[in-house]
Amino acid sequence: MRKWITILGSTGSIGTTTLRVIDGLNSSLAEERSFEVIALSGHSNTKLLAEQVRRYKPKYVAVSDPDCAEQFRGHIKDINVEILTGEEGLTQIAQLDEVETVLAAIVGIAGLPAVLSAVRKGKRVAIANKEPLVIAGKLITSEAKQYGAELLPVDSEHSAIFQSLAAGRREEVAKIVLTTSGGPFRGCKSEDIQNATKNEVLAHPVWRMGPKITVDSATMMNKALEVIEARWLFDVPPEKIEVLVHPESIVHSMVEFVDGSVIAQMGLPDMALPIQYALTYPERLAGCAKRLRLEEIQRLTFEMPDRKTFPSLEMGFEIARKGGAAAAVFNAANEAAVESFLAGAIKFGNIIELVRHCLDNYPQQLEAQDATLEELLEADKWAKKEVTECLKNHQPLP
Ligand code: NAD
Ligand code: MG
């Protein structure tokens, strides 16, 4: 039995780890079973995409940046593979009849159309790409029900919650506790990190990830996005979600049940395990993940988050309560601000200021609770334009 997989964003941190997971699974499975890559996608890293195509021999490959497609063709002239381009190419490979699982690992809202089209085809969607869930969680989860699609979390915290929830019934859940390493600025005070450099921000103490999520971990915006992600994935009200700092990143998250039992999932900080579980669920198979030896880790510590230094956390809860297009504004302002920070155009402290500014100033007509996809995309556009305007006018930037 072969399982056919599309990897959206195969050249990124999650994408390359997914290929490692597939190698690990196939090397330990009997010959008649395997996980096969039918389609891959990349954006600008065409050289790595070409190497992946040579090695994994997919039938299709999508190059989402049309300018890079030509460059990509040049790398693989001797190979027979169908090349698709643009957003349409991504949605096509997410919908292929042969595909069983779509591993969604594009970064940001760019992954939204392909995630939605996989859901509408009733696929299993192993979702790492958290931004679409933040922006359109209500829509994606309700359409998943409607079309019989399975949404399996890849984000390590959400995979841990998904696994822990299996220990009881939904109505028996008292709360969900999302853990966080605390990022590179755990223990710092707000005034000390306002001017943090790109190198300081990108030096995450535990996880090696793509640049956007690494910046999000430093602002703790990543945890704010994850609160909203959990709210939709597990249909839990924000009052039942808590955040706990756990610098060792061994306990990936936990669920407390009404009787007081706390069920947690543990493992080394490596995305291979949550990726693999989303591919093999409901089975557990031997793979490439290294074993946890608690006697080597020795000590697990926990502390409450510093909400004053990291105001993004409170914003996450605010947006999770509010719902509607506010989440699209929140996410878009952050995407635009992080991009500006990575381009050297703003200070680290400006990221949160820009997000707050957009949340305080978005037009009333974006308030709709049951926002349609078009309204959400409009809210995204509004916030990105607002960030550009702020940068032009140096407002609210010092
Ligand atoms: P990354 O930057 O390493 O990779 C991003 C991928 O998306 C690349 O393949 C890139 O080619 C593609 N891409 C970028 N811009 C695109 C665009 N405009 N259109 C189409 N494709 C585009 O990112 P990552 O760290 O692998 O993260 C991917 C997603 O998974 C993010 O949403 C992130 O929050 C989430 N996630 C990542 C980790 C991690 O450990 N890296 C953990 C949990 C969740
Ligand atoms: Mg996470």
Distance CA 265, CA 253 (A): 6
Least confident of 17-31, 242-256, 260-274: 17-31
Tokens of 148: 């019989």
| 113 has a pLDDT exceeding 70 | yes
Strand partners, 263: 255
In this prediction, residues 121-134 reach a mean pLDDT of 98
If one compares 321 and 396, the residue with the highest pLDDT of the two is 321
In this prediction, residues 118-141 reach a mean pLDDT of 98
| 379 has a pLDDT exceeding 70 | yes
Index of the ligand 1 atom closest to the CA of residue 42: 11
- From 6, 14, 67, 220, mutation site for ligand 1 pocket: most ligand atoms within 8 A of C-beta: 14
Ligand 1 proximity of 69 Cβ (cutoff 6 Å)? no
Residue 226 CA to ligand 2 center (angstroms) comes to 7
Ligand 1 proximity of 110 Cβ (cutoff 6 Å)? yes
The residue whose two tokens read 């919908």 is 95
Ligand 1 proximity of 11 Cβ (cutoff 6 Å)? yes
Residue 285, phi-psi category: left (phi > 0), alpha (psi -120 to 50), beta (remainder): beta
Protein residues within 5 Å, CB atom, of ion ligand 2: 155, 157
For residue 44, give the ligand nearest its CA: 1
Residue 12 CA to ligand 1 center (angstroms) comes to 5
SS3 for 358-380 is: HHHHCCHHHHCCCCCHHHHHHHH
Confidence of residue 31 (pLDDT cuts 50, 70, 90): confident
Residue 82 CA to ligand 2 center (angstroms) comes to 33
pLDDT, tens digit, 9 for 90 and up, residues 327-373? 999 999 999 999 999 999 999 999 999 999 999 999 877 676 788 99
Tokens of 240: 């039942």
Count other C-beta atoms under 10 Å from residue 175's C-beta. 15
Distance CA 275, CA 152 (A): 9
Distance CA 332, CA 345 (A): 17
In this prediction, residues 285-298 reach a mean pLDDT of 96
Pairing of strands 241-245, 262-266: unpaired
Residue 109 CA to ligand 1 center (angstroms) comes to 10
Confidence of residue 75 (pLDDT cuts 50, 70, 90): very high
Pairing of strands 251-257, 82-85: unpaired
Residue 177 CA to ligand 2 center (angstroms) comes to 13
Predicted pLDDT at 368:
66
For residue 252, give the ligand nearest its CA: 2
Predicted pLDDT at 260:
98
For residue 275, give the ligand nearest its CA: 1
Instruction: Return the residue whose CA atom lies nearest to atom 36 of ligand 1.
Output: 128
Of 243, 242, 222, 231, residue with least CA distance to 323: 231
In this prediction, residues 48-57 reach a mean pLDDT of 98
Q: Are 216 and 181 in contact (CB under 8 A)?
A: no
pLDDT, tens digit, 9 for 90 and up, residues 160-196? 999 999 999 999 999 999 999 999 999 999 999 999 9
- Report the percent of the chain where pLDDT is more than 70: 98
In this prediction, residues 86-92 reach a mean pLDDT of 97
- From 6, 11, 13, mutation site for ligand 1 pocket: most ligand atoms within 8 A of C-beta: 13
For residue 127, give the ligand nearest its CA: 1
Residue 31 CA to ligand 2 center (angstroms) comes to 34
Averaged pLDDT score across all residues of the chain: 96
Residue 271 CA to ligand 1 center (angstroms) comes to 13
pLDDT, tens digit, 9 for 90 and up, residues 247-261? 999 999 999 999 999
Q: Where are the beta strands (DSSP E) in the chain?
A: 2-8, 34-42, 60-63, 82-85, 101-104, 124-127, 150-153, 173-180, 241-245, 251-257, 262-266
Q: Is the pTM of this model over 0.85?
A: yes
In this prediction, residues 32-37 reach a mean pLDDT of 93
- Report the percent of the chain where pLDDT is more than 90: 92
Distance CA 256, CA 380 (A): 35
Q: Measured at the alpha carbon of residue 280, what is the angle toward residues 277 and 286, in degrees to the nearest 5?
A: 80
